[in-house]
Amino acid sequence: MPDHHHSTAQTRDFLSLKLKPMPACRVDGMRCPIPTDETKLASLMYHAYQGTIDYHGEDEAETLLEVRRTLIGGYGPFMWAASRVVERENTLISAALITRCNGQPFVAFSMTHPTFKRLGFARACVESAVNHLLSQGEHELQLVSTLGNVGAMALYRKLGFVPQQQA
């Protein structure tokens, strides 16, 4: 899974999106996460990242700690109302977890279970988060992505994210 605070062997890019209204795509089971989703989010994260360029050998217990760290503000205050999950049959299949980092909304994690990849769930989660952020007067959304994660980078570019120079 992405490590936001340590360098890795993979090249990462800082991306930014100037917020504008996104298509309101209705997805059954999409909602804001709640604190009791912690274990479901950990399972989703573990399965979403396992075997990908962003997987660094974490086991399920370490993944649960990463989710807890995110939800309690380890990557900046967690934005419960802006974050999105998609639940099907009591299982989370996709999520966009939004924090506030350096004063700006930040996509801490975007993930989809492998069974449901490339079906538009990640896109719908981010678009819904963008619309919520706009309704709250926000103007920009940022994230960091591994350049070798071709699918994620393609999605972010389709959504309008552009590379930024870090200060």
* 24 in a structural domain: no
Nearest alpha-carbon partner for 81 in 29, 44, 128, 39? 128
What was the pLDDT predicted at 9? 52
What was the pLDDT predicted at 88? 96
The alpha carbon dihedral of 77, 83, 87, 93 has a sign of: negative
What was the pLDDT predicted at 23? 85
pLDDT tier at 41 (50, 70, 90 boundaries)? very high
* SS3 per residue for 122-145: HHHHHHHHHHHHHHCCCCEEEEEE
Nearest alpha-carbon partner for 25 in 73, 76, 94? 94
Q: Whole-number mean pLDDT of the chain?
A: 91
Range of 143's domain? 12-18+29-160
pLDDT digits (tens, 9 = 90+) for 63-112: 999 999 999 999 999 999 999 999 999 999 999 999 999 999 999 999 99
**3-state secondary structure (DSSP) of residue 154:** helix
What was the pLDDT predicted at 2? 45
The three-point CA angle 48-53-58 to 5° equals 60
* 2 in a structural domain: no
Domain count, the chain: 1
* 130 in a structural domain: yes
Q: CATH number of the domain that 50 lies in?
A: 3.40.630.30
* 116 in a structural domain: yes
Confidence check: pLDDT of 167 > 50 = no
Phi, psi at 12, each rounded to 5°: -120, 155
**Strand pairing category for 91-101 and 104-112:** antiparallel
